[in-house]
Every structure is written in structure tokens, then in C-alpha cells.
Amino acid sequence: MFFNYDYYLFIYLTVVAIVDFKTMTIPNVFVGIAFIFGLLSPQPTVTEKLIGVFIISVPMILLNLLVGEAFGGGDIKFMAASGLFLGWKLELTTFFIAVLVGGVYAIYLIICKKEEKYIAFGPYLCVGMMVSLLWGKSNNSLVFNLDKEIKWKNFIKIRK
């Protein structure tokens, strides 16, 4: 097949990560592209896509209202749009991985005594999406496997 959906998606996620890392913004055009990827994606089901739109973005909005400046608006919109092509299970996995990887970076900043008030979270969301897309679909979700037990031998198996 000429159109390799995952190939273009990974290029797109790499570009989003680089732009957000350098500018600390995810432009609306990138959110729109994520929305288009979601509409073109044959999987997951429509119900899973709709739940995916809200399952992370709504708690992110609520956290921003309670704490203030916890996440940027671009991160929230990006997660809502990505819920369309990930579905709710991979969206949860993506966020879990992003928080872990972003947390490791934050610990690094603390150890090195670098005083950064904010860090770009988009690159970690993109890493989480890439990991979820590579390994999550074969396990139905790496972290939140709700259909069966995680079989660690499948953890390293790249999806076909």
C-alpha cells in the first residue's frame, strides 16, 4: 500500500515534538492535522474515539482550573484531537507514558539545579503516542490492559 498511515503519523508526531520543544506551543494547525488523522483512522470504533477525545482532555482542563497553568492549551487540544486516532485505551496509555517520561526529565532538571518554570509537555505526549502506537495496539493497551493480563513477552513485540 502506498499510503502508510503510521509512517506519516510518526513524522507528524516528530515535527509536533520539535516545534513544541522549541516554542512551547502546539499551533492549532497541528491540532487540526491530528483531528484529520483521527477522522481518517479506520480504528478504533466511533465510541472509543469519542471517549478518547474526553478521557484525558477534560481532566487536564479541570486540573488547569484547580491548579492553574498545569498544562498549556495546545497540550489539552492536542490530547483531545489525538483521542480520535488513539481511542480511549491508547489515550490513557499515552498520557501515562508521557507523565513518566516528563517526570524523569523534571527529576533531571531538579538534580542539575536548572531553574525552569515551565517545560514543554508536547514532546512527552508525542513519545507516549509513538510508544502506544508501536506496542500498545498489539497488547490492546500497554498500561491499562482491560481485556486480558499483560503478557510481558508481548510487550516487546512490535505490532504488525
Residue 160 pLDDT > 50, yes or no? no
Q: What is the pTM of this model?
A: 0.81
Distances (CA, A) of 137 to 5, 17, 119, 132: 14, 22, 29, 7
As a whole-number percent, the residues of the chain with pLDDT over 70 amount to 81
With cell 489539552, the residue in question is: 76
For position 53, what pLDDT does the model report?
Answer: 93
Q: What is the mean pLDDT of residues 82-98?
A: 91
CA-closest candidate to residue 116, choices 128, 126, 130, 102: 102
Residue 11 pLDDT > 70, yes or no? yes
